Amino acid sequence: MRRVTATLAAAAMALPVTLIGLPAAADSERAAVGFGLLYHDGDIVRTVITPASIPGKGVDPIFAINDGVAEQLAVTSVAPGTPGYHGGRWAVYVVDWNVTPYLLTSDEAVGLAQSEGDVTVTRMPAADFVCPVTG
């Protein structure tokens, strides 16, 4: 549970990113002051690191990837300008590896890895948060 919480927090920062693991610490090494980074459709997008907790109320899927490769960031399925983006009201999913990790840079890649049994994806509604993507 501590690993998941830390990952989410990182994601949130990275995302905010990885707050949630997602906040997985937003990878402070890869984030500019006040900003976090995450992948969206193979591109790296930025977020403003001001996450606010909204347990169970997230709608935009974000994937916090535990124990991934060094350059791994959280992955989002939506961003400004894409259909279904709700301003960064993140529904947190934690991704755990069943094989040697490799880089995932889109929600489609996460889905494919899941369908091949490479990862297990678990919804974590208690980790939901709000944090906008800035592009």
Domain count for the chain: 1
pLDDT of residue 49: 67
Report if residue 19 sits inside a domain.
yes
The H or E element spanning position 121 is strand 119-123
Confidence tier at 123 by pLDDT (50, 70, 90): very high
Listed range (2-6, 82-86, 90-94) with the worst mean pLDDT? 2-6
Whether residue 67 has pLDDT greater than 50: yes
pLDDT of residue 31: 34
**Domain with 83 in it:** 2-130
Confidence tier at 1 by pLDDT (50, 70, 90): very low
Report if residue 135 sits inside a domain.
no
Q: Is 94 helix (H, G, I), strand (E, B) or coil?
A: strand
Q: How far apart are the first and last CA of the chain?
A: 31
